[in-house]
């Protein structure tokens, strides 16, 4: 959060500088008072009066400086916070393609293909592979009506996201397609607040290991090496349901 200073007086000067000046002024006043006393003691009445007058001038200046310092210190210097920023949400999931090479090589190895010979259909399947670490959870979020468009979406994006979510719920679209349409991102606030903490903690905690174990035991595959199938999701989602129940959902 940023901060600004909004002062009640126009330009509050450097008080420390004025404090030093007041000390020097008081020193000069006392010095001239002392010199005037010496002059009077030596019989120099006129010199004593002159020195006394000069000392009085410095003393008056000192008093004025002190009054200004006291006044400035009493002013209410309001520290005003910037207007509260709108809620800022970070990506819960981000697929920026870093795992694509791994998934592509694994796919080519499984199906004895060369990267140069991959078709558009092959590329779509490989993209599904790269989303293995989130697709099941995304399908669950939407199926449980815990999805909502991000506050950062404009009107058109919101409408498109709602349509895609409806297609996934009807099982007419794969979660990986939703992620592809959104640049590989899924934002924290796309989960309704009632389940947001659970989803974040589960995703960052046990979820990944649950998927890895499921892939190994049930699919005979490794993470980033299997396509999304609804029947596999149905078999896996019980893990999410159980975790949600333990969480208190």
Q: In terms of domains, do 106 and 205 share one?
A: yes
Please calculate the CA angle 167-246-196 and round it to the nearest 5 degrees.
45
Q: In terms of domains, do 58 and 23 share one?
A: yes
**C-beta separation of 91 from 152 below 8 A:** no
Question: What tens-digit pLDDT sequence spans the chain (249 residues)?
Answer: 333 334 434 454 555 666 777 777 777 767 777 777 777 788 788 876 887 778 677 677 776 766 666 665 655 444 344 444 456 689 999 998 778 899 999 999 999 999 999 999 999 999 999 999 999 999 999 999 999 999 999 999 999 999 999 999 999 999 999 999 999 999 999 999 999 999 999 999 999 999 999 999 999 999 999 999 999 999 999 999 999 999 986
- Residue 187, phi then psi, degrees to nearest 5: -85, 155
Q: Is 0.75 surpassed by the pTM of this model?
A: no
Instruction: State the total domains in the chain.
Output: 2
* 210 domain residue, yes or no: yes
Q: In terms of domains, do 152 and 71 share one?
A: no
Q: In terms of domains, do 124 and 179 share one?
A: yes
Q: In terms of domains, do 156 and 36 share one?
A: no
**C-beta separation of 202 from 140 below 8 A:** no
**C-beta separation of 198 from 244 below 8 A:** yes
Q: Which domain holds residue 108?
A: 91-247
Separation CA 118–CA 114 (nearest Å): 7
Q: In terms of domains, do 74 and 98 share one?
A: no
């Amino acid at each position: 959060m940023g901060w600004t200073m909004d002062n009640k007086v126009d330009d509050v000067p450097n008080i420390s500088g004025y404090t030093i000046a007041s000390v020097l002024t008081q020193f000069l006043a006392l010095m001239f008072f002392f010199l005037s006393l010496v002059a009077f003691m030596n019989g120099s009445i006129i010199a004593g009066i002159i020195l006394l007058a000069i000392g009085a001038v410095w003393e008056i200046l000192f008093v004025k400086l002190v009054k200004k310092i006291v006044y400035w210190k009493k002013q209410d210097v309001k520290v005003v916070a910037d207007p509260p920023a709108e809620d800022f949400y970070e990506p819960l999931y981000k697929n920026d393609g870093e795992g694509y090479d791994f998934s592509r090589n694994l796919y080519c190895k499984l199906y004895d293909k060369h990267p140069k010979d991959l078709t558009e259909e092959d590329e779509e399947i490989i993209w599904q592979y790269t989303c293995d670490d989130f697709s099941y959870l995304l399908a669950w979020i939407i199926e449980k009506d815990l999805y909502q468009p991000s506050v950062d979406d404009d009107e058109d994006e919101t409408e498109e996201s709602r349509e895609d979510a409806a297609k996934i719920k009807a099982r007419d679209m794969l979660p990986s397609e939703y992620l592809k349409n959104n640049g590989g991102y899924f934002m924290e606030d796309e989960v309704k607040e009632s389940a947001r903490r659970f989803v974040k903690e589960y995703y960052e905690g046990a979820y990944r290991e649950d998927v890895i174990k499921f892939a190994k035991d049930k699919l005979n595959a490794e993470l980033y090496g299997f396509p999304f199938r609804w029947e596999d999701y149905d078999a896996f989602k019980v893990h999410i349901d159980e975790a949600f129940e333990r969480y208190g959902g």
